[in-house]
Amino acid sequence: MFEIVAFYLFSILTIVMFGITVFTNNSLYALSSLAAGMIFISAFFFLLDADFLGAVQIVVYTGAVMALYAFGMMFFDALSVVKERINNPKLMFLLSGISALVIVLIFVAPIVNSNIEAQYPVHPEWGNAQDVGVVLFTKYLIPFEVAAVMLLVAMIGGIILAGKKMDISYSELTEEEIDALESQTLKKDNK
C-alpha cells in the first residue's frame, strides 16, 4: 500500500514540476522546477529498490541542472519578461504531442515484443554498483577525467563571460524598484 501511495504522490509531483518547467516564463523558476523534477524521478528508483540508480539520478542529473542554473543566473536577466510569438499555438501543441507519442512508441515497441535479460550477471558478493565503479575508474578513467576538466573549463569560461560590470545590483533593490525596472524593459521591448 505504501508503494502505491508513494508512486502516485511522486508521479503527481513530477508532472507538476515539469509542467512548471515548460509553462513558466522565468528561467530561474524553470531551472528550479527542473531540478526538483529530477529529484522526484529519483524517488521512483528508490521505490524499486535501485538505490544506486536513485543516488546517481540525484548526483548526475540534478548536478547538471544546477550547472545550468548557474549559467542561467550568469547569462540571463531574470527580471526581463520573455515574449514568445507562436502563430498557431494549438497546432504547435498538437504536433509536439504527436511527435512525443511517436518517439515513445518507437522506443517501447521493441521492449514489449522481446524478453529482457541482463547482459552482465550480478555479483552477489558485492553487487553491480561496485562493478560500475571498477569499470569507470579503470577502463574509462581518462574519458571520465577529460569530461570533468571540460566541465570545469566551461564553468570558468561562463563565469568570465558573465563577469560584466553591472550598473544595478538586483539583490539590493526593493520590490517597487524591481517593478519599475520591469516596466521600463517592457516599454523598451514594445518600441
Q: Is position 167 within any domain? A: no
* Cα–Cα distance, 17 to 28 (Å, whole number): 13
* Cα–Cα distance, 169 to 4 (Å, whole number): 48
* Range in 8-17, 45-54, 116-125 with the lowest mean pLDDT: 116-125
- From residue 13, alpha-carbon distances to 34, 64, 179 in Å are 11, 20, 31
- pLDDT value at residue 127: 67
**Helix pair 27-47, 63-75: axis angle to 10 deg:** 180
Instruction: Kindly tell me the number of DSSP H helices and DSSP E strands found in the chain.
Output: 8, 0
Q: Is position 109 within any domain? A: no
Q: What is the tally of structural domains in the chain? A: 1
Q: Is position 86 within any domain? A: no
Q: Is position 94 within any domain? A: no
Q: Is position 162 within any domain? A: no
pTM listed for this prediction:
0.48
Domain coverage including residue 8: 1-78
Q: What is the mean pLDDT of residues 34-39?
A: 86
* Cα–Cα distance, 98 to 89 (Å, whole number): 14
Residue 57 has pLDDT above 80, yes or no: yes
Q: Is position 190 within any domain? A: no
Q: Is position 97 within any domain? A: no
CATH number at residue 18: 1.20.120.1200
- pLDDT value at residue 112: 59
Tell me the residue type at 136. Answer: L
Residue 82 has pLDDT above 80, yes or no: no
